[in-house]
Amino acid sequence: MDKIRINNLKFYTHNGVLKEEKRLGQQLEIDIELQLSLRKAGETDDVSQTVNYAEVNEKIAQHTSHYSYDLIEGLASGILDDLESTYSKQLKKIIIRVRKYSVPMPSIFDNIEIEMEREF
């Protein structure tokens, strides 16, 4: 299966369980992997034969700026729902990873990351 990946999209959001997280906000990183056939796009060099990743980026940006969730799992699921409703005919699978860096836990770590996927 061919893949389109957009890595390390950065968004400032107001997600989190704690009131401070929602009030102050924080940066999240998102990776998206779209699995589909890219054969026709490669043969024709025609953007209409693929999923336009600029449009995917815009959909993710719109979702992260318009919705607030307690959990990054909720954010990821909402983005997957948006992408599925638009691209399910072209895509075979979508994988999303969301990373959160400012997690109020008494430990030393880089980030918390969740990964979710949808198959069609």
Any catalytic annotation for residue 100? yes
Which one is catalytic: 10, 19, 22, 100?
Answer: 100
Q: Are 10 and 28 in contact (CB under 8 A)?
A: yes
Strands (E), 24-105: 26-36, 93-100
Neighbours of 87 (CB within 10 A): 18
Catalytic center residues:
100
